[in-house]
Structure formats: structure tokens, C-alpha cells
Amino acid sequence: MNPSRSALLGPLSLLAVLLVPGCTFLPSNGPSLYRVKTSASRPNFIGKYVYVPLTEASVDLIREYAPTSGNFRQSADLSFEGSLSKSLQHQESTDHLTAKPSDVVIAGDVVSVTIFDKAGGLFASPIMPNGLTLSGSIPHDIPSQVVDLSGQITVPYAGRIDARGKTLSQIQTDIESKLASKTVEPQVIVTLKERTGGNKVTVLGDIKSPNSVAVSMGGTRLLDAIAAVGGSTGKEFETYVSVNRGHETCSSTLSEIYNSPSKNIYLRYGDSIYVRSCPLSYLSFGANGRVAEVPFQEERLTLAKALARVGGADDNKANPSSVLIYRLESSKLVSELGKQPLASGSATCPVIYRLDLTKADGFMIARNFTMRDHDIVYTTSAGSVGVMKFLGLLGGVFSPVAQAGGAAATTAVAAGGL
């Protein structure tokens, strides 16, 4: 090697080691830990995030502020209230929608009327085919009929009977009162043959067979209606079920409804149910196995599993002491962690968590840290990677010079030999 080239590379290599942490002209897949820490600690910092090292204590505190069991969406969703879309994200309980099933008849329902009257009355002859005489009450079944748009049914000798909005016992009493002056001691039984009227709920969305479901007088619960249309097409913990009643809309995940009987509410006429499958995923970047959007595939995904699914930290590139997790957290949690939320009055605050896998308990902490939807996992590169890149850059610069020098020396030797 040319002595002058060796003398030059020594100082340049040292310069590379000193300058790499601050270099911006070298290729990189993201910020270094140095930049993350120093930016977060500046008094006049405007980068809008808080830096939090993960410890056993901080992970326990983060778990206490986790979203509702069975749903690991961003905690930012918990701050929304009011509108339909915000109610979907807020995970508001459907408890206040609970109501007893409707036991009144609706236009379109099919009812059947059976009348008992004394022998010789209006509806049945007391004389049997063999000539004998019947005694006691004789039943007479009136053909089943649909409650018409006016809400009425027709009963012979009683005329038009209002049925819509009344219970079966109320309809029975009305018929008896109208027949009381026309037959002997009439007794009436009214039954609901089929709920084909408007007393239905609509079930739509990510389900196998979207359809309307009749609300029975015995009561139809939310899970009954979902089962009647074939069930959800997605996983329970990734499926949202929203119930719209009047001007209110509330929702829960399907797994929450399974686990909380109070959320398996009775449905009412006119309710609409929307089932929406929203797969959970996180993003992976940096010096690990791959850059990808990765689905959860299970209800509780830990950071340890999340790292394993992308191949873990690359032995040749990664800095295992600084695996970063980007997330929006509640400002209250940030305060509990001993940090100052960046925007006063804001419900959420961006946080960068740091996991140090070089510590003895690093993997235990990763095992206890639960991932949430849209988390970003970034594995920083080791400092030596920057050095190698810089040296490679120097090699690319000096290689043509060395080659030219070698060619010149060869030419000189050849000339001297001549």
C-alpha cells in the first residue's frame, strides 16, 4: 500500500468514528438512539414526543392504562366521544341500550284467533253429525290473518279490531267485549303465529348472510341476531358490533360481548346492527428481519412475539440496546410515568418507548409489554454500521486513485527497464 495513502486513511478513519453519530449524508433507515434522546431532552424541543425507557415498573403502569380487555387499539381512540365514528372508537358500553323485548303486535304480523262460546252460539253448531247435542264451550278457529297497514284484523260478528301497538291479551279483551252481547260467554285466545311485520332488526356488515331478523316476543338478544345471519367473518377480538337505536349508537368488540353478558342486550324493533371486521396490525422498521406491516393473528400479542415474527434484531446491523416503540398514549399515563405531556389540555401524547435487550431482564420486559394496533417497532442500527458505511465510501473514493497510482508505477518500471 502506498505510504501516503496509509497515512491519510488513519486520520480519516478516526474522523469517521467521531463524525458518524452526527452524519446526515450516510444512508440510514431511521433515527439513531442518540438523536431520539437528545431531541427529547432539549428545552425548546418541537418534535412532539416523549421518550420513556421501558422498565418492569413502567410496563406495569402501561398495562393499567391499556384499552378495554380484548381490544388493543390505540389509546388515542379512547378520547373520542359523540358522533357515530367516535362512538365506534370509544368502545362505549351498550348497557344503557338494554331493554325488555317488545310484546306488542306490529303491522304485518300474523295472528290467530280462537273463540269459545256456549253451544248454540254464533260460531259453532251444538248438533253433531250423529245427531247428538254438544254441551259446554265449543272452540272455533278463525283463519290466521295478517295485521294490515291500518293496524287492524277482522273477527266475524266483532268487526274490525285494532291490533297494532297492543299486546295479545289486550286484543283478546277487545274481541270478548264486542262479542259479549252477541253470543253466550265468549272466551277468546289470540296467538302470534309469525313475526313477519315491521318488528325486525337489520344486521349488516362483515357477516356471512346480511339479512333482517325478527324480534321474538320472548326476546332476541344481540348475539342471537348475529348467529341468525351466520356470524362474523372476522376474528372475535378484531370485530366491532355497533347497535344503532334512534339517535344513539354504541359499540363493543364481539369478544367483549361474549365475555360480558350485560352487553348482549335485548334488541328492539327498528334497531340496526353493523358488524365490522378491523384486523389489528403493527409496523416493523429498522435493523431487524424485515420491513413490513404485520397482522396480530391473536388477541394478546406481546412485544417479544412481535419481534420474533419479523426475525428479531439483526446480529450484523442492530443495536439491541435500543428497540423503539412509537405509540400514542393518554396524557394521564404520560404524567404517571413522570413525564410532562407536550400539549396541555390534549388527551393524548406521542411516546417513544425504548427496550434494552442487552439487560438481563430485557426479554422479560418484552414478554410483558402488550402491543396495540398501529404500533411502530423500530430497531436502531449499531454505531459500527455507520463506520463501515463511511469506510466503504472512502474505499470507493480512493480505489480509483490507487488503481491509477498502481498503473503509473507499473508504467514507470517498464520504462526504466527499457
What does the pLDDT look like over 10-44, one tens digit per residue? 555 555 544 444 444 445 556 666 566 565 555 54
Q: Tell how strand 152-155 and strand 211-214 pair up.
A: unpaired
Q: For position 184, what pLDDT does the model report?
A: 77
pLDDT higher for 23 or 118? 118
* 110-193 and 20-73+280-385 share a CATH fold: no
Q: Which amino acid is at 300?
A: R
Report pLDDT for 90. 34
CA 229/CA 211 separation, integer angstroms = 6
Query: Which is the CATH superfamily of the domain at 20-73+280-385?
Result: Outer membrane lipoprotein wza domain like (3.10.560.10)
β-pairing, 152-155 vs 159-162, is: antiparallel
C-alpha Rg value of the chain to the nearest Å: 38
3-class SS at 314? Answer: coil
Candidate ranges 87-96, 99-108, 271-280; pick with highest mean pLDDT? 271-280
- 154: pLDDT strictly greater than 70: yes
| Alpha carbon distances (Å) from 335 to 45, 47, 324, 329, 330 | 18, 18, 20, 10, 9
> Regarding predicted confidence, which is higher, 310 or 100?
310
pLDDT of 126 strictly over 70:
no
Strands 376-381 and 292-295: unpaired
pLDDT value at residue 29? 56
Instruction: Round to whole Å and give the CA distance between 335 and 44.
Output: 19
- Report the pLDDT value the prediction gives residue 375, as an integer from 0 to 100: 92
- Percent of the chain predicted with pLDDT > 90: 24
Can you give the pLDDT at residue 35?
Answer: 62
Q: In which band, very low, low, confident or very high, does the pLDDT at 140 lie, cut at 50, 70 and 90?
A: confident
Say yes or no to pLDDT of 45 above 50: no
Higher-confidence residue: 60 or 107? 60
- CA distances, 357 to each of 35, 195, 324, 361 (Å): 19, 63, 11, 8
The percentage of residues in the chain with a pLDDT greater than 70, rounded to a whole number, is 65
Return the closest-CA partner of residue 379 out of 364, 393, 367, 366.
366
CA distances from 121 to 129, 178, 276 (A): 17, 14, 59
* Higher local confidence (pLDDT), 384 or 273: 273
The CATH H-level superfamily of 76-101+199-276 is: Outer membrane lipoprotein wza domain like (3.10.560.10)
Strongest mean pLDDT among 99-108, 167-176, 308-317 = 167-176
Residue type, 357: L
Domain 110-193 has CATH 3.30.1950: yes
338 has a pLDDT exceeding 60: yes
Residue 107 has pLDDT above 80, yes or no: yes
Q: How far apart are CA 185 and CA 176, in angstroms?
A: 9
- For the ranges 92-101, 279-288, 306-315, which has the lowest average pLDDT? 92-101
3-state secondary structure of 148: coil
CB 355, CB 303: distance < 8 Å: yes
Please report, for the chain, the start and end positions of each structural domain, with discontinuous segments joined by +: 20-73+280-385, 76-101+199-276, 110-193
